[in-house]
Structure 1
Amino acid sequence: MTLEKDNRSPLSASHQIERLRAEQFSHIARHTPGVMLANICNATVFMAASWDRPYRIAALCWGALVIAIASFVFLRRKTRRTSTYRPAASSSRRGVYRAVGYAAALGSCWGALPLLFLDQASVGGKLLIACLCSGMLGGGAFVLASIPPAAAAFSGPIALGSFAALLASGDRDYLLTTIVLAVYSAVLMRAVWNYAEGLERRVKTQVEAESKASERLARLHASGLHALGGMASGLAHEIAQPLAAASAYVETSKRLLREPTSEALPLVERNLQGASEQIGHVGDIVDRLRHFLLEGKPSSSLVHLRSLIEEACRANRRALENANVRVHLRLEATKDAVQADRVQITQVLANLLRNAIDAMEGVSDRSIMIACVNEDDWVRVDVADSGAGVDEGVRESLFEPFMTTKPKGMGVGLAMSRSIVEAHGGRIWMEPNAKAGSTFSFVLPCDRCAEASITT
C-alpha cells in the first residue's frame, strides 16, 4: 500500500509514512503471538492426526518446519518487545520486507499442505486439511490486513495450493469447492485492501489535524509577536519625539554654555527644564506600556482623535507618497476628546491607513478620505479608499484572526484593531462604497462616556 504524496510539505509526507508504518506494525504486533501459537497448535494437530498414516514422516517434517518458523517469529517478536531498541524511520521499509518474508514462508508451508497430503488422506483427514487451510487463510489475512503485500504473501500460497490440489483430483464436487474458495479468497483480499485504505485515510487525517493544530499554534505565536511589534513600532514613534526634543534642548544649552553670559543662564535653565520634562514624558510612556502588559488593559488618557489622525498621516507620509495616494481630511467633530491609549489608537489608524494603501494597488485613481465626525455621544472615524473593494464572501470573517486577502498578509492587523477598539468600549466595521472601494469605520465614546465605560 503506497501512501499518497502530500504536496504541502515533504516533512508532513514523511511523518505520515512513519505514522502509517507504526500503525501497520502495531496492528500486526497485537496479534502475532496468538497467530504464531495457532500455527504451532495446528501443525501439532495435523502431525498427531497423521501419526498412523503412511505419510507420517513427511507430515512430521512438514510440521517441524512450520513450528520452527512460527517459533522463530514468536521469539523474535518477544525479544524486540522486551528490548529497549527502537528502530529508526529508515528501518520501517526493512520491517515491511521482513513481514512479507515471514508471511511468505509460513504461507508456502500451509499452501503445500493440500498438495502433499490431500490425495492420500482419509475422508476425515481431508476435512481436517480443509479446515486447517481455510482457518489459516482467513486468520492470516485478518492479522496481516494492515500490510496487504504481507497478507497476499501468506494467504496467496494457501489459496493457490488448495486450488491446485482440488483441481488435480478431477472430482466435480472438488471443482465446485474450488469456485467457492476462489470467491471466498477474492472477498477476503478485497476486505484486506479496504482495511488498509481505511487505515491510511485515518492516519492521514490524524497527521493533517495535528499539523493544522501545530500551524495554528505557530500562527498564534506569530500573531502575538506581530501585535507586540506593532505596539513597539507605535511606541518607538511616540518616544522618538520627546527624545528628539530633549536632545535639541540639551544641544542648545551646550551652545549657550560655550559663551556663558548673564542672559544665557536663564535660557540654559529653561532648556534643561524642558529636556527634563520631555524625558519624564518618555518615562510616562514606558510606564503605560508596563501597565498594559501587567494588567492587560489600555492605559487611558485624554486624547483628541483629530490630532491622532494627523499624526498617523504624518507617520505614513512616505508610504503615501511612494504609492502616489492623495489623502483628504474631513475633521468635523467638535467633540473629539476620548479616554484612550494614544499609542494603541494610533496603531489602529495606521493599520487602516496601510490597508487602504494596499487595497488601491493597481488602481489608477488613488485617494483616501479620512473623516472624523460626532454621532450623539460617540466620535466616529471613517477611512474610505478608492480601491477594488472586499469580496462579499470574506466580509463576514474580515476581522477574524488570520483572515487576510493579501498574498503575504498574516491576517492579524484588523483582528488586533478590533481588539483594541473593543477594549476602549467602541466598535469597528466595514462597509462597501457606493462606487468603488471600502470604508472602514470605528466609533469611540466621547470623554464623558469613555470615563463611564472604563470605570465599569
Structure 2
Amino acid sequence: MTDRSPEVPGNSGAVVLARDAYLRSLLETVPDAMIVIDARGTILSFSAAAERMFGFREDEVLGENVSMLMPSPDRERHDGYIGHYLGTGERKIIGVGRVTTARHRDGGTFPIDLHVGEARIDDERVFTGFIRDLTERQETELKLHNLQSELAHVSRVTAMGTLATSIAHELNQPLTAIANYVEAARDLLVAPDAATLEIVREALDECATQSVRAGQIVRRLRDFIARGESERRVESLARVVNEAIALALVAAGERAVEVELALDSAADKVLIDRIQIQQVILNLVRNALEAMTASPVRQLRISSRPEAGFVAVTVEDSGPGLAEDVATQLFQPFVSTKTAGMGLGLSICHTIVNGHGGRIWAGASVLGGTAFHFTLIDAGDNDG
C-alpha cells in the first residue's frame, strides 16, 4: 500500500512511532486473538486479546515456539506441520481454517476456530493466526441444545402416552372381536355339523377382517411417526459439521484431541434438517471422543465426498475399534458398549439418516479405530 503521509523533514522518526502506536491500538481492540510466528514456529507478536485468551503476557511468549499453546499431540507435531507445508505446499490449515483445541496457561484446553494467513517480510515467511474462543458461544449453544433435547423428550413422552392410550382404545375393539369369534368357533366345534361349520367359517372370516383392521391401525401409527415434523432445507455441510464439532469439544472438557476436517467443497450443499443431522454428527463425535479416552493418540477425522447423487460423510477415530459381537447389531436399540449407556444414540442416528433417504454403516478406520459412514442427498444442483 502506498504511504500518502506528507513528508515532514526531520520528523520521520515521530511518524514511524505514531504509525506503530496506531497499529498497536488497532490490534489491541480486535476481539479475536492474533499471533504472528515465523517459519520456525517462533512467536513474533502476541495481541492483547491473545493475552486474555491464553493467560500469558506477550513478554512471556515472545521468542518461544507457538506449540506451547497447543495440547498434545499438536504440540509435538507442530514443527512437522510447518516443515511439511514448506516442503510440499500442501495447505491443511493455511487459508482454510478449522475448529481445533488450544491450551491455556493453567493446562486446560478449550475449543477454538483457527484461521491462518501467510505473508512475506523481505525474504522471511511469517504466519498470522486469528483465533476465536468458541467456549462461551458453544457452551450457550450446548445448554440450548440440551434444553431443546429435554423439551423434545418431554414432548415425545407426553405424545407417546397419548398415543398409547389411543392405540389401546383403537386396538381393543378388533382384538376383543377376534377373541370372541375364536371362543365361539371353539365352542361350536365341540359337536360340528354342516350348519355349524358354516358358522365357524363366518367367524373365522370375521377374525381375518378384524386382524386386517388391527394391522391398518398399526400401519397408520408407523406412517405418522415416519413422517415426523422435520423441515429440510439446503444447508452447508461444512457449517453443520463445524458447529457440531465445537459443541462436542465443549462437552469433551480437557480431553485434548487432534481434529482434522477433509470436507469436499464441491459436495457442500445437502438437503437436510440441520438440527437432526447435527444430532447425528454430535452423537458420532461424542462416541469417538469417549472411545479414545484411554488412547495415547487421539485423532478425530471428518471427511466427505460425492457419491452418485449423495454426499458420503465419514467420522473416524483412533480408538480401539469395535468388538465383533457389537458390530453386527450396532444400530439396534438398547445395544451399547457403555456401562451406563441406553444404547439409543446409534439407533436414533440410523432412524434420522434413513428418514433423510440415506444409509449409515460402520467399519474399520485407517486411524486404527472405528469409521462411521452415512449419506445425505446432494443438493448441489438445487441451490438455485
- Structure with the bigger percentage of strand: 2
> Please, what TM-score do these two structures have when normalized by structure 2?
0.40
- TM-score (normalizing by structure 1): 0.34
Q: Which has the higher contact order (CA 8 A, sep 6+)?
A: 2
